[in-house]
Chain A
Amino acid sequence: MASVQLDHVSKRFGSTHVINGVSLSIEDGEFVVFVGPSGCGKSTLLRLIAGLESITDGDLMIGDQRVNNLTPQERGVGMVFQSYALYPHMSVYDNMAFGLKLEKAGKETVAERINETARILQLEPLLERKPKALSGGQRQRVAMGRAMAREPGILLFDEPLSNLDASLRVQMRNEIARLHGRLGSTMIYVTHDQVEAMTLADKIVVLRAGHIEQVGSPRTLYERPASKFVAGFIGSPAMNFMAATLVDATDTGCRVNVPGLGDIDLPFQARDVARGASLSLGIRPEHLQPGDPEGDNRFDVVNVEYLGNECCIYLDNATDTFLTSRVEAATPITRGDTVSLHLDPQHVHLFDSDERALARTGADRQ
């Protein structure tokens, strides 16, 4: 059983608190992605699980064993490093065999295991080469092969694709997903790239400054972010935020005023919020549709990005609200136009002054 439980895990380096009381439960065979901005403690959390750093406080359980004081090997983890960490003087085969030989596996099984791993990762023609003679993607696969060859219950990845170019990254992303399906081992994957997180994860853990901001499936995080931070971090182009003022709140919803857009009725439970309180209204670019200008609702088109399958329109208005809208590629809108904007209340997010998302009213709750 390679499930992982973190119970109020903390890490301090001297007096700097890097991880603050993180509790998390990871099922056996799950693909979990830690995502967050650079410096938020993703690598540190992964290294705590790996056993490369000691845990200052809290309990780490793997299966039903407390592993705080076990070595990485005893925890049964394998790790793929951002910089690959291949032994430069060893061939691909030796790189993979180096960790295996120790497990007192017979010569036969070492060779068998490596050949099997090499076959899965299509490394067979490269087995005799040194890392220097490999491309970035090949090195990446060798690093994964080395971690896999020991057949650990838990595979850890620290930004494994960040040194690859964009197309290779997409390809390797698919290979990792395929590999997870095939091996069925628990995988914990660190990235700062929310696209990687969205595409790979069963469960995404959004970290911010050493604590968990939200845990959930990619769909939950995208459609029901629990905070303004998560809402802004997940999705590209990022969610639009507009200042809003609460006008009225009833059992079935609330009414807010947004400068430029006027009063809008939204399905949020805001009875606990004082009238006149300032809120933050969030809407994703694809839910913000431009139309003909009307009244105060006037936005200048600052730029239009043509992306082939769609266009991104960057907008600005008299009150300096900068917004992004995503429309079909055939849009007639060009730079310098003036448009109005319409938002679908079903897709609006509302955040209070503490940046927490307001609950939706009963009928609309998911």
Chain B
Amino acid sequence: MASHDTAVAGNTSRPSGRERGTRVRRRRVRAAWIFLTPMLIGLLLVAGWPLMRTFWFSMTDASLSQMGGASFIGLENYLVYDDGWYGVLADSLWWNSVWNTLYFTVVSVGCETVLGIIVALVLNANFRGRTLVRAAMLIPWAIPTIVSAKMWAWMLNDQFGIINHILISLGLIDMPLAWTANADLSMWAVIIVDVWKATPFVALLVLAALQMLPSDCYEAARVDGIHPVRVFFKVTLPLITPALLVAVIFRALDALRVFDVIYVLTSNASSTMTMSVYARQQLVEFQDVGYGSAASTLLFLIIALITVAYLYLGRRQLGGDS
């Protein structure tokens, strides 16, 4: 029985087997499509349609008060010459927010990765009550961003915030710092909050990967007398790289479209303005749906480009390197 089944599945060279094999394969392809169709339709409705509409609006002069009477203006929202360059691509505030977004992404995801690995290594060690610590570690990730951002806004408050209070009582600073208002500090304030929130996510994925590691390899390394630091960089790190890459891309995609933390903590301040905040400001505050849509479309393209590049560069690792 078993060999008969594998012959069909393996599509072997037995004459009758091959014919049956193609029929089986065709049936499988059809089944695959049947299972995929609902999801494809769902995606088209909830992602494809809004995306196409945004793209369409970005080529019109629609405003929030009169969406219906919009007329097609081509690429003028993106870039146009009319006694000087105008459009999103000519706006220095846009490029400022692109830079802010990239800076925020690289620094926060970088910190989250390093801290996440450290936390995961600690949680992977055998100690009493680690189940409890593991659960507690997840709390920042479980709190909705708006709530945690609001919470941090109070803690970072320049007059009544506990952070300033602690720093002053420790004698590290003499005067309260305006964490969210000071242009030099605000980016760091949002990065700290994001790192606090997202490190558990990275730690969780890394911890899962650590627990899959072959424990006997570590004993072999111990017998061979290899230094633990060397073992970490030469054995542990390469083996958790696939999980780490997944964690990083999830976090990077989140960070590239970051909105809530920044909007709650610093509103529209230009020192922390990201692409999402920029697009919202244009679209909602300035009522310019066309211009805001152009910014959103660019945001989409930039994220898509980075994702594709990342997947391409990481394909060997993500694919399990076979």
A residues contacting B by CB (< 8 A) are 50-52, 71-74, 77-79, 81, 83-89, 98-99, 102, 132, 146-147, 150
Contact = CB atoms under 8 A, between A and B. Distances in A.
A98 B234 contact: yes
Given A73-B224, A78-B223, A150-B224, A89 B239 contact: yes
Given A89-B321, A132-B322, 13 more contacts: A50-B223, A72-B224, A73-B224, A81-B216, A86-B217, A88-B214, A98-B221, A98-B226, A99-B224, A99-B225, A99-B226, A146-B220, A147-B223
Contacts of B220: 79, 81, 85, 87, 146
A315 B101 CA distance: 84
A85 B224 contact: no
B227 to A, nearest CB: 7
Nearest to A86: B217
Contact of A72 (B225, B235, B321, B322): B225
Interface string B209-242: 0000010110111111111001000110011000
Contacts of A146: 220, 224
A81 B219 contact: yes
B223 A83 contact: no
B214 A73 contact: no
A71 to B, nearest CB: 6
B225 A85 contact: no
Q: How large is the interface on B (under 10, 10 to 19, 20 to 34, 35 or more residues)?
A: 10 to 19
A355 to B, nearest CB: 36
A87 B223 contact: no
A87 B231 CA distance: 11
Contacts, number: 62
B243 to A, nearest CB: 13
A132 B322 CA distance: 9
A71 B225 contact: yes
Given A88-B239, A98-B234, A73 B216 contact: no
A50 B230 CA distance: 21
Nearest to A77: B223
Contacts of B219: 52, 79, 81, 85
Given A50-B223, A72-B222, A77-B223, A85 B216 contact: yes
7 contacts: A73-B224, A83-B214, A85-B220, A88-B239, A98-B224, A99-B221, A102-B224
Interface string B102-130: 00000000000000000000000000000
Contacts of B238: 89
Contacts of B234: 87, 98
B217 A87 contact: yes
Contacts of B239: 88-89
Contacts of A52: 219, 222-223
A287 to B, nearest CB: 43
A85 B217 contact: yes
B226 A102 contact: yes
A150 B216 CA distance: 18
Contacts of B225: 71-74, 99, 102
A82 to B, nearest CB: 8
A99 B217 CA distance: 12
Contacts of B221: 98-99
Nearest to B231: A98
Contacts of A50: 223
A84 to B, nearest CB: 8
A52 B239 CA distance: 23
A99 B230 CA distance: 11
A75 to B, nearest CB: 9
Contacts of B214: 83, 85, 88
B85 to A, nearest CB: 51
Contacts of A89: 235, 238-239, 321
A100 B263 CA distance: 55
A86 B230 CA distance: 16
Contacts of B216: 81, 83-85
Contact of B235 (A79, A87, A132): A87
Chain A CB within 10 A, most for which of B217, B234, B321: B217
Interface in B276-322: 321-322
B217 A102 contact: no
Nearest to B218: A85
Contacts of B222: 52, 71-72
A73 B220 CA distance: 11
Chain A CB within 10 A, most for which of B220, B222, B322: B220
